[in-house]
Structure 1
Amino acid sequence: MKKKLVILNTTLMLGLGAFTSIPSVDAASLHSQKQEIQNQRLNVQSSLSKADIELTAVLEERVRLTAQINRVMQAINDNNNLIKKTENDIITTKAEVEQLKTEIAEIQERIDKRNEILKQRAVSYQENGNSQIGYVEVLLGATSFGDFVERVGAVTKIVQADQDIIAQHDADKKEIEEKKLSVEQKLTNLESMKTELVGMQAQLGEQKQQTNELEQELNRKENEIAALKADLKIQDSTLAAKELEIQTRLAASQKVEVKHHTVAQANTSSSTVKNETSNTPNSASNNVSNNVSVEAPVKEAPVKETPVAKGNVNTVINAGNKYIGNSVYVFGGGRTASDIANGRFDCSGFVSWAYAQAGVKLPAYTESLKSVGRQVPTSDMKPGDLVFFDTYKKDGHVGIYIGGGKFIGSQSSTGVSIANMSSGYWKNTFNGRVVRIF
């Protein structure tokens, strides 16, 4: 647009330079100058008409950019809320881990006490004859039937006590193992949440940068079109003033010509003078605006989307095309009808949605997507394959390969877009993991 503006200014100013001063010339020359100015005004009016068309296009783009900015700002707000939730989850998880550690310590204390009891019992057995006292030997040592019954009861209690101690011991050992496993799992989840938090904060910075760039682009285009129209209006005003000056001089020239005619031909009837006056070309009432035709804005026919047959890899690849340029990256996005309608996806949510358009159900999380289908070497990569990237973490990003070294996905800074994985950032972060679904 700047180039157009420079060319237009140069052309019109060169034209205007020829009319900086209008010398005293005859009527024919004035008519010629007037016609030339009218032609230049016609060109300016045409340029103004084209500028209006361009302004309409810019305003339409402004609507689109404003909608995109609103989506990005909403995504930033949602991601901020998610960061706060993650921070609260981390605090809650830490509290759970501490509680589990306390419970483990209590269980360990019970186990230690039972170990001491069992140890003392073993020592007692050894002190009585330096060998363990067998239960049968105790029973056979009875002096009477009554004594035997008592000894049976005593032995039963001892056996039951031992069994209870052992059962409790085993149960506590099992419980402590389960709780230790739970602690380890929660600690792993905690580390994962921390990683996600760092990733979200990085994405948030990229989204803010995207918003600033969109706003700057919008302001630049508006300023350019405003400057163009202002310049064209000034030039049209200048030409109109020149035209009016020539028109005035023409009128004055016509009056002088009529006066000379009257003196030279005193006997000429007044009707002749009237006829000459009425036949004078280009009367002052002639308005240049009636001669200027403004080009009407040309409306382009809407582009019709080519329907894609469902159920194949082309469906998956082309499903997201309608979101290119009017979507936004949101952590956890693409899993609700509202998100999908408003173009709010994260990388795995978009992949899952795209495949769903072909009737293929996939998990909506990157970690799970690694395990679907089958892995193939990068040398055998085909359109429709899932490709993974080590961004803020290993396999932190996933997209759909479309061929030619490119993939489509929901990128953090652009929303749904096609990116080149043959060079730059995506080449450096591609980790070689390729998963084939079809």
Structure 2
Amino acid sequence: MKKVIGTAITAGAVLVGSVCLTDTVHAEQMQDVQEERAQVQNNLSDAEAEIADVMAELEELNEKVDSTNEALDKNKQKMNETEEEITQTEDEVAGIEEDVQVLEEKIVERKEVLKERIVSLQENGGNISYLEVIFGSKSFSNMISRMSAVSKIADSDKKLMEQQEADKAELQEKKDDRQDKLSGLQDMKVELEGMNETIVAQKEQNEADKEELKKKKQNLNDMKAELEDKDSSLASIEEELSERRDQSNGGSSDNSNAVASASSSNSSSADSSDDGDLKQLSDNTDKGSGQYSSAIDAGFTQTGTPYVTAGKGPGGFDCSGFVSWAFGQAGVSIPSSTSALQSVGSKVSLSNAQPGDLVFFDTYKTNGHVGIYLGDNKFLGAQSSTGVDVADMNSTYWSKNFSGHVRRVQ
């Protein structure tokens, strides 16, 4: 979320105003600054509230990620157990098939026994039927003996056949039971695999959402830093306007004397002004800002100095405060706010930019961040995340936010 800052305060209206401005003009300028500052502070509150919301969403996503990880672990454990049970059941089915083979062998053996018994009977009584066994008896006792043998053989055959059928039925039932179990386990495995794919997809989506929220949080933090920088700059402007108003009211008895005094001492007034004063360098108009190597050299001495909101001194800088300080070390007085700096000197294209030119970026607002161009698409500036450092305009963040606005101090 990037709030658009409302009313822009132009450099001439804020920092070049002369001592002849009326109380009404001062009041209007002060009102404009205060209104813009109020809007900035509202945007700051919105940014902080959204950062809090993002933090809450991140916490919720972390819980979801943990939950999906736990679900994946449980699902994996269940899959492993199911696969083990499938293997065990397959082994049982294989064992039953072996039992069937053993039973078939026993059946063959039983048939052989029956065959041997019949052969034995035939050897004793010939190839004869049941009646022939009776009527072929040599004596009554022989007949009884033959009938008993036939009866025993018949009973034995019946029992063997019944046992055979019972064994077959038992094995078939056992096999069917294991096959049903195996089929159920295989269906469960398919279902678990589908669940695993769904959980993995949820996890990936949660991770992707988490990365997006992290980027959003970083952008919000960057915007917050820029808004804090803007608020501090507006506070400085507000203070300068208050000082100018006091000077205007107490420095002269009438406006005509103030105008005459300002006209006769223009050069000395510019040299003695603080970092917020606007000074056009007429002596260097044709030389271009590329010659300000001393400003760049001074800037490099502060590499690593932390970013400090509204910082204007060596102990800490904001972006515009650093640029103003560096040029001040080269004897060049320029404003210390981005609102004023975006109008200083003359505008040039990036293709014609020289070391020492000012480059601007659209951060919390149009031209909300400024740095000193070094050449080769590099610039030196006070960055909210790294302090005074060299940044690459080709990087994703800076290339996206580069406004195309370049000023040559003259």
- Aligned partner of 2:276 in structure 1 is none
What is the CA–CA distance in structure 2 between the aligned matches of 1:49 and 1:91, rounded to whole Å? 63
1:172 aligns with 2:172: no
Equivalent AA in structure 2 for residue 82 of structure 1: K
Aligned to 1:240: 235
Q: Report what 2:68 is aligned to.
A: 72
Q: TM-score, normalised by structure 2?
A: 0.52
For residues 28-427 of structure 1, what are the structure 2 equivalents within 5 Å? Answer: 28=23, 29-121=25-117, 131-134=127-130, 136-143=131-138, 146-189=141-184, 191-257=186-252
Unpaired segments of 5 or more residues in structure 2?
256-410
1:319-370 deviations in Å (ceiling 9; x for gaps): xxxxxxxxxxxxxxxxxxxxxxxxxxxxxxxxxxxxxxxxxxxxxxxxxxxx
Q: Using a 3 Å threshold, how does the CA distance of structure 1 residues 20 and 114 change in structure 2: closer, same or farther?
A: farther
RMSD over aligned Cα atoms: 3.4
8 Å Cα contact 1:37-1:239 kept in structure 2: yes
Give a deviation string over 1:243-275, Cα, whole Å, max 9, x none: 122222233334424899xxxxxxxxxxxxxxx
In the superposition, relative to structure 1, how do residues 16 and 53 fare at CA in structure 2: closer, same or farther (>3 Å)? farther
CA distance in 2, matches of 1:126, 1:192: 58
Indicate conservation of the 8 Å contact 2:117/2:153, yes or no: no
- Tell me how far apart the structure 1 counterparts of residues 241 and 27 of structure 2 sit (CA, whole Å): 8
- Partners of 1:98 and 1:18 lie apart in 2 by 95
Distance 1:144 1:118 in 2: 27
CA distance in 1, matches of 2:15, 2:122: 132
CA contact (8 A) 2:122 2:128 kept: yes
CA distance in 2, matches of 1:151, 1:122: 12
CA separation in 2, counterparts of 1:149 and 1:125?
Answer: 14
Using the alignment, how far apart are the partners of 1:20 and 1:253 within structure 2? 14
Residue 37 of structure 1 deviates from its aligned partner by 0.7
Amino acid in structure 2 at the alignment position of 1:222:
K
Q: Is the 8 A contact 1:65 1:218 kept in 2?
A: no
TM-score (norm: length of structure 1): 0.49
Deviation per CA, 1:55-78: give whole Å up to 9, x if none. 343344334433333332222222
Q: Give the aligned partner of residue 313 of structure 2.
A: none
Question: Is the partner of 1:8 in helix, strand or coil?
Answer: coil
State the Cα deviation string for residues 81-138 of structure 1 (Å, max 9, x = none): 222222222222232223222222222221222233344556667778874531x443
Using the alignment, how far apart are the partners of 1:130 and 1:208 within structure 2? 85
**Count of residue pairs the alignment pairs up:** 253
Query: 1:21 maps to what in 2?
Result: 15
Q: Distance in 2 between matches of 1:23 and 1:159?
A: 133
Identity across matched positions, percent: 32
SS at match of 2:230: helix
> What corresponds to 1:353 in structure 2?
none
Change (3 A) 1:130 1:214: farther
The question of whether the paired residues in 1 share the 8 Å contact of 2:134 and 2:143 is answered with yes
Which stretches in structure 1 are left out of the alignment for 5+ residues? 261-438
Query: Is contact 1:30–1:250 with CA below 8 Å preserved after alignment?
Result: yes
Aligned letter for 1:106? V
Q: Which amino acid aligns with 1:164?
A: K
Check whether the contact 1:138–1:151 (CA below 8 A) recurs between aligned residues: yes
- Aligned mates of 2:240, 2:112 — CA distance in 1: 119
Q: Distance in 2 between matches of 1:248 and 1:73?
A: 62
Question: Residues 148, 119 of structure 1: CA spacing in aligned structure 2 closer, same or farther, 3 A cutoff?
Answer: closer
Q: Which whole-Å CA distance do the structure 2 matches of 1:72 and 1:19 have between them?
A: 59
In the alignment, residue 99 of structure 1 is paired with which amino acid?
G
Give CA deviations for 1:378-398 in whole Å, capped at 9, x if unaligned: xxxxxxxxxxxxxxxxxxxxx
Maintained 8 Å contact 1:76/1:207 = no
CA separation of 1:128 and 1:185: change in aligned 2, threshold 3 A? farther
> Per-residue CA shift, 1:196-238, capped at 9, x if unaligned?
3543443343133222223123223322332332222111111
8 Å CA contact retained: 1:125, 1:132: no
Q: Report the CA distance between 1:38 and its aligned residue.
A: 1.0
Mapped to 2, the partners of 1:59 and 1:19 lie a distance apart of: 41
SS in 2 for 1:23: coil
Contact 1:44 1:236 in 2 (8 A): yes
Separation in 1, partners of 2:10, 2:61: 38
